[in-house]
Amino acid sequence: MNPVRLALLGGLLYIAYRLLVGAGKKKRTEEQTAPSDLSSSKGMDILVEDPVCHTLVPREQACFLRHNNQSYYFCSDTCCQRFLTEKGDKN
Ligand SMILES: [Zn+2]
């Protein structure tokens, strides 16, 4: 029996135990990211009609155009461009 050896072994076991517990106890720093839906922001309920393809689009997502003191909303920039082209053709 070697008391020093036993003490060392005990120490090692203790360290090992602490490491295991420490690893398991590792605090979860995961921030509780609230489901902050950007798409669910206010204004989504307001639908506007695209004058080109007649699609209803949420105003917040629509492509806004001010033309001849009138406000137009488009589903995409493509429709906006088409609208301007068609308007321009009339001149
Ligand atoms: Zn469109």
Q: How far is the CA of 90 from the centre of ligand 1 (A)?
A: 20
CB 11 within 8 A of CB 17: no
Q: Which residue is associated with the tokens 């506007």? A: 48
Q: Report the separation in Å between the CA atom of 85 and the middle of ligand 1, taken as the mean of its atom positions.
A: 14
What is the model's pLDDT at position 27?
58
- How many whole angstroms separate alpha carbon 68 and alpha carbon 37? 35
Distance 68 CA to ligand 1 centre (A): 19
SS (H, E, C) 11-75: HHHHHHHHHHHHHHHCCCCCCCCCCCCCCCCCCCCCEEECCCCCCEEECCCCEEEEECCEEEEEC
Residue 74 CA to ligand 1 centre (angstroms):
5
pLDDT digits (tens, 9 = 90+) for 12-41: 888 888 888 887 665 555 555 555 555 445
Domains detected in the chain: 47-89 (2.30.170)
Which pLDDT value is given to residue 12? 87
Indicate the pLDDT class of residue 80, thresholds 50, 70 and 90.
very high
pLDDT one-digit tens code per residue, 53-74 = 999 999 999 999 999 999 999 9
Ligand 1 mean position, distance from CA 27 (Å): 50
More confident residue, 63 or 3: 63
